[in-house]
Amino acid sequence: MRPEHAELLTDAVREECVRQGGAAARRAWIGALAGAYEGAKRAAELGGAVRAAGTWYTPEPLVHWILDEAMPAQPGRAFRAVDPACGTGNFLLAIARRLRAAGVPAAQVAHAVHGMDLDPMAAAIARVRLEMEIGGGAAAWRASIRAGDALAAGAWKGGWTVDLVAGNPPFLGQLSAATARAGDARAALRERFGGAVTRYADQAAAFLLLGTELSGPRGVVAMVQPISVLAAGDAERVRGACMQAGALDAVLFPRAGTFGAAVHTCVPVLRRGMRAGAVRACAADGTVVRVAAIRGSAWSAALAAVRGVPEPGAERTRGTIGDHAQATADFRQHYYGLRGRVIDAPKATRRAGEHALVTVGAIDAAGCTWGRTPVRLHGRALLAPVVRAKAIENDPVLGPWLKARRGPKLLVATQTRAIEAFVDAAGAFLPSTPVVTVKPRRSADLWRVGAALLAPSTAALAWQRHGGAALSPGALRVSARQLMELPAPGDARAWANGAAALRAWQRAPGSRDAAARFAARMCDAYGVPTAARAGLVAWWTQAIGPIGPKRSQAGAGRR
């Protein structure tokens, strides 16, 4: 269907609606049609019957929660709002009802509430739905709700300024072949928003930028977003552009499962004309936490707050971990290049010339379960995967990789609840993608770098800066570059004591006392105030998982 079909579809839907009898019957019929169409379209996308459009229709309770935050309790008669991805009109109808309840005449509401959707059928249903529920005349709603691409250049001609931009735009991750826009459309989107929408940024983030364009000097933008918008590197320019246009006032976190088990969302609430300050992190259970911006990372810090991550308390720092080490992440060619070259070592015993291959699932905080806990690699279950050096040292890709990864280092897991790493002092292990390799600039700093990475303050600060970048909202993913940008301890003597404590803990990974001594020494190194230590260490201890005899079995299932 093309946008121009919306007029014919509107005629057909309206004609059938008026046949239903009285006003109540008409409202019930069009409401049922909207729900049925939403469900059928989503089912068709999930079943692969049509090309995915990233459609997720918004439940009514979430619509009201967003509007409670973003819309004045008593909007004036001049109030105007727009949903640039309106679907069948869930947000538009809720906004229109609130305007009517505030005494705004129906005819005026029809000129104050605007929407657009790429789907002509959805736009047609929204038009008839608003007419039957609110009144105001069919012609007015045809003009206010249009079919078209809201992100296209020129879609909003006429000097638009509204008080509220709210809605739930489609989620189209650009790495997914089933949903990604064509290359020319992606290029047009980048040009449309001055390069802020990068190749792999989710299309939903572009609607935030559109909202800042459409909103007036004191307008509000509240759009449902994938949780990755809070911290993903591909959305960094979008966040920056939004902050230039206004201030982040709040981030709402809908209940898990609102849009399906695999979809995790948030709702940034941006206000034009407001000075930047503390951000309210609002959980679905009513919990509200005020978050201070940390190096402009209030977006991800909001997620950290509702996840119960305490303040890092790092009052004594000096430089960054990158001043003392360098980190490297491997790529797909390294992972797939090892296919067919990995064997399972008999009795978990390595022979001369063999390197243990460590996966993310085998890495614990100050420990490694290689040879004790089975892992999945290249579709196989292996207990002790090893790589023979002779099998890859002449390979043009894997040969240089092997040379670079040998030697003393730290191996850091990703997608964990806190930063987890262990020190490979003997250089006996190799990383399996996406494990991050960290090598000290001076060999004498190996354990010091490990202590800084594993410190409770480091984990909490990583959450505040990068929470939301992982596949799960309960996990933390920090890139190699981001690891190196985390601060180093400012107390050199305490840091050395922390390094010694880490060495002792790694020799006895099941010791709660050793873990506690390490945490205490690194709190000293980072200058964590005494009053903040108990809460920080308790959170960190829970985040790194069980410590004790069953630790390795529990660790294998945390990823």
In this predicted model, what pLDDT tens digit does every residue of 406-417 receive, in sequence order? 999 999 998 999
Query: Could you tell me which residue, 256 or 155, shows the higher pLDDT?
Result: 155
Q: Using 50, 70 and 90 to split pLDDT, how confident is the model at 181? A: very low
Locate 26 and state its tokens.
């008409």
**What CATH number is given to the structural domain containing 322?**
3.90.220.10
Q: For strand 279-283 and strand 429-431, is the pairing parallel, antiparallel, or unpaired?
A: unpaired
The residue among 267, 282, 306 that closes a domain is 306
Same domain, 156 and 242: yes
pLDDT of residue 126: 97
Chain-centroid distance, C-alpha 271:
21
Q: Would residue 234 count as lying in a domain?
A: yes
pLDDT of residue 231: 86
Q: Would residue 243 count as lying in a domain?
A: yes
The residue among 276, 306, 336 that closes a domain is 306
Q: Would residue 312 count as lying in a domain?
A: no
Query: Could you tell me which residue, 481 or 295, shows the higher pLDDT?
Result: 481
Same domain, 160 and 269: yes
Q: Would residue 171 count as lying in a domain?
A: yes
pLDDT of residue 293: 64
Same domain, 293 and 389: no
* Three-state DSSP state, 357: strand
pLDDT of residue 554: 34
pLDDT of residue 205: 87
DSSP secondary structure string, 3-31?
TTHHHHHHHHHHHHHHTT-SHHHHHHHHH
pLDDT of residue 556: 35
C-alpha dist (Å) from residue 155 to 206, 214, 528? 14, 11, 52
Query: Could you tell me which residue, 455 or 158, shows the higher pLDDT?
Result: 455
Mean pLDDT of 145-168: 91
- Assess whether pLDDT exceeds 70 at residue 186: no
Per cent of the chain over pLDDT 90 is 69
Same domain, 489 and 508: yes
Locate 181 and state its tokens.
């826009």
Mean pLDDT of the chain: 89
Same domain, 295 and 326: no
Mean pLDDT of 379-391: 94
pLDDT tens track for 457-477: 999 999 999 988 877 788 899
pLDDT tens track for 197-228: 766 567 888 899 999 999 999 999 999 999 98
Exposure letters 147-186 (e unless 16+ CB within 10 A, then b): bbbbbeeeebeeeeebbbbbbbbbbbbbeeeebbeeeeeb
Mean pLDDT of 499-508: 97
Q: Would residue 414 count as lying in a domain?
A: yes
Q: Using 50, 70 and 90 to split pLDDT, how confident is the model at 233? A: confident
Q: Would residue 47 count as lying in a domain?
A: yes
Residue 431: closest CA among 361, 373, 371: 361
pLDDT tens track for 133-144: 999 999 999 999
Q: Where are the beta strands (DSSP E) in 17-140?
A: 81-83, 113-117
The residue among 272, 306, 340 that closes a domain is 306
Q: Give the position of tokens 């591909």.
A: 234
User: How many Cα atoms within 13 Å fall on the side-chain side of residue 458?
Assistant: 28
Q: Give the position of tokens 């980190």.
A: 327
Strand order through the sheet with 421-424: 325-329, 436-440, 409-412, 421-424
Locate 109 and state its tokens.
């509401």
Locate 501 and state its tokens.
């404590």
- Assess whether pLDDT exceeds 90 at residue 545: no
Phi and psi, residue 231, nearest 5°: -145, -15
Q: Would residue 311 count as lying in a domain?
A: no
* Domain count within the chain: 2
> Which range is least confidently modeled, 143-147, 194-198, 292-296, 499-503?
292-296
> Which range is least confidently modeled, 168-172, 449-453, 542-546?
168-172
Q: Would residue 146 count as lying in a domain?
A: yes
Q: CA torsion 331→333→335→339, rounded to 10°?
A: 180
Residue 197: closest CA among 241, 153, 167: 241
- Assess whether pLDDT exceeds 70 at residue 113: yes
- Assess whether pLDDT exceeds 90 at residue 44: no
Mean pLDDT of 257-272: 85
Mean pLDDT of 308-325: 96
Same domain, 275 and 325: no
Same domain, 138 and 284: yes
Same domain, 276 and 321: no
Q: Using 50, 70 and 90 to split pLDDT, how confident is the model at 337? A: very high
Same domain, 275 and 395: no
Print the domain residue range for 500. 317-556
C-alpha dist (Å) from residue 19 to 15, 35, 64, 132? 7, 19, 31, 12
Task: Provide the sign of the torsion angle of the four alpha carbons 517, 520, 521, 522, taken in this order.
Answer: positive
Q: Using 50, 70 and 90 to split pLDDT, how confident is the model at 273? A: confident
- Assess whether pLDDT exceeds 50 at residue 547: yes
Mean pLDDT of 516-536: 97
From the CB of residue 496, how many other CB atoms can be counted at a distance below 10 Å?
16
Q: Using 50, 70 and 90 to split pLDDT, how confident is the model at 557? A: very low
Cα gap 251→516, rounded to integer Å: 34
User: How many Cα atoms within 13 Å fall on the side-chain side of residue 148?
Assistant: 17
Same domain, 287 and 323: no
Locate 106 and state its tokens.
């129906």
Q: For strand 81-83 and strand 113-117, is the pairing parallel, antiparallel, or unpaired?
A: parallel
- Assess whether pLDDT exceeds 80 at residue 115: yes
Same domain, 139 and 87: yes
SS3 labels along 111-124: HHEEEEECCHHHHH
> Which range is least confidently modeled, 50-64, 283-297, 527-541?
50-64
Mean pLDDT of 265-292: 90
- Assess whether pLDDT exceeds 90 at residue 498: yes
pLDDT of residue 550: 39
Locate 66 and state its tokens.
């967003």
- Assess whether pLDDT exceeds 50 at residue 98: yes
Same domain, 175 and 126: yes
Per cent of the chain over pLDDT 70 is 91
Cβ(157)–Cβ(117) below 8 Å: no
**What CATH number is given to the structural domain containing 260?**
3.40.50.150
Query: Could you tell me which residue, 231 or 489, shows the higher pLDDT?
Result: 489
SS3 labels along 365-405: CCEECCCCCCEEECCEEECCEEEEHHHHCCCCCHHHHHHHH
Cβ(354)–Cβ(387) below 8 Å: yes
Q: What is the largest CA-CA distance in the chain?
A: 86
Q: How far apart are the first and last CA of the chain?
A: 43
Exposure letters 71-101 (e unless 16+ CB within 10 A, then b): beeebeeebbbbbbbbbbbbbbbbbbebbbe
